Amino acid sequence: MKFVPIESKDFDVILREYSIGERVSHKRCKVALENAVYILETTKGKFVLKRFDHTKENYIKYQNKIESFLIKKKIPLPKIIKSKKGSLLIHYKKKPVQIQAFVKNKKPKLTNALVKEIGKIVGKMDACLLEFPLNGKFIWEKEYQFKKRKLRKNLFSAANLCKIQSCVVDRIRTLDKTKLKKSVIHGDANMINMLFDKNRLVGVIDFGDVHEDYLLTDPMFFISDKLMHASGIDYSKVKIFLKSYTKYVALNDEELKAVLYFSQLRCLFSIDWINRMIKKHPDQKKELKWYFNLRYNENKMLSKVTAEEFLLKIKS
């Protein structure tokens, strides 16, 4: 199903449910591909409006419960704006809609100091999430990392994704999964879902993938996205990040090895996700192809790195 934009008249109707002024302008955030996300400027300031296109309401409420919990724990998250009726969520054209406070975001430079700070905030967040009770309701497929899954047709190259998946899963199955801690996790803790100002982390956003899973997944997302490249792994910054993160949440050797293996699996899942998104957003084919090549080449690099080499370099 192709993306359906929110029109000016729709914003005007939605804003009648709130006390945040009248619409001045709106701009879609194109990096948000799963749902409709807009920067909305009104006569009373800027806000972020999100329309949940494929999310069940009970899951949205679960996200909000966790966000409220983390805000109370002083983790930097944007505030959700309540409607005139005091609700965190309204409905428009049968779709859930939510508005959050706008937090200024400027593209940061990934210095050692910023890597350390990101490690600190993600570590604090995960330490708080360890306190959140597991209820077994909001999980992805149980221990899906250890299983093969059906992949979509590869639209960008002739690469055999099923063969790549077999190699990755074979590596993952060598892990002792009893040593991998489980927790509620953010589920997509990368820099796309972080806000920065003056090269400082000022907000964590988008809990649309929050679920119960292996705890190491959250630090893995940042390491995979920003510190692993087709040209190699930036071990210096990986060590800085992990030193900061593990002040709040300890990771054993099996979890550290899983960071490497799960990063490779993330490349594969990203490729599969891209093949789905191209059908929904054909206008962004160029950008998606670039992202495909990035992940494909990163996977090739990671496939050559052994767990022993990875552990030796991050501990040296």
Per-residue pLDDT reduced to its tens digit, 63-108: 999 999 999 999 999 999 999 999 999 999 999 999 999 998 899 9
Q: Is residue 236 one of the residues assigned to a domain?
A: yes
Q: Which domain holds residue 123?
A: 112-315
- Residue that is last in its domain, among 81, 101, 121: 101
CATH number, domain containing residue 50: 3.30.200.20
- 240 shares its domain with 219: yes
Question: Are residues 95 and 117 both part of a single domain?
Answer: no
Reported confidence tier of residue 195, pLDDT bands at 50, 70, 90: very high
Residue 32's pLDDT is 77
Paired strand residues for 51: 36, 97
- Asked which of 35, 70, 101 is the last residue of a domain, the reply is 101
Q: What percent of the chain has pLDDT over 90?
A: 77
User: pLDDT at residue 35 above 90?
Assistant: no
The answer on 230 and 118 residing in a single domain is: yes
Residues composing the chain = 316
Instruction: Based on the fold, state whether residues 95 and 116 are members of the same structural domain.
Output: no
* 314 neighbors 255 (Cβ within 8 angstroms): no
Whether residue 311 is found in the same domain as residue 261: yes
254 and 130, same structural domain?
A: yes
Q: Same domain for 92 and 209?
A: no
The answer to whether residue 1 sits within a structural domain is: no
Residues 123 and 212 in one domain: yes
Helix (H) or strand (E) holding 117: helix 112-129
- Together in a domain, 71 and 117: no
* 33, pLDDT greater than 80: no
Are residue 90 and residue 123 in the same domain, yes or no?
A: no
Domain assignment present for residue 147? The answer is yes
pLDDT score of 1: 62
Neighbours of 46 (CB within 10 A): 15
Q: Is residue 208 part of a domain?
A: yes
Residue 27 tokens, joined? 């701009």
pLDDT tens by residue, 234-286: 999 999 999 999 999 999 999 999 999 999 999 999 988 888 888 878 888 88
Q: At residue 29, what is the residue type?
A: C
Q: Please indicate, yes or no, whether residues 96 and 117 belong to a single structural domain of this protein.
A: no
Do the domain assignments include residue 107? Answer: no
Inside any domain, residue 221: yes
Structure tokens at 43: 């006569």
Name the domain boundary from 72, 101, 130: 101
pLDDT value at 160 more than 70:
yes
CATH of the domain at 158: 3.90.1200.10
pLDDT exceeding 70 applies to what percent of the chain?
100
Q: Read off the pLDDT band of 304 (50, 70, 90).
A: very high
Q: 3 lies in a domain?
A: no
Q: What pTM did the predictor assign?
A: 0.90
Domain membership flag for residue 2: no
Domain count, the chain: 2
What integer is the mean pLDDT of 101-126?
Answer: 96
Q: Across all residues in the chain, what is the average pLDDT?
A: 93
Return the pLDDT at 190: 93
Closest to 194 measured CA to CA, from 185, 207, 211? 207
How buried is residue 291: exposed, middle or buried, by Cβ count under 10 Å (0-12/13-18/19+)?
middle
Do 56 and 121 reside in the same domain of the chain? no
Average pLDDT over residues 43-49: 97
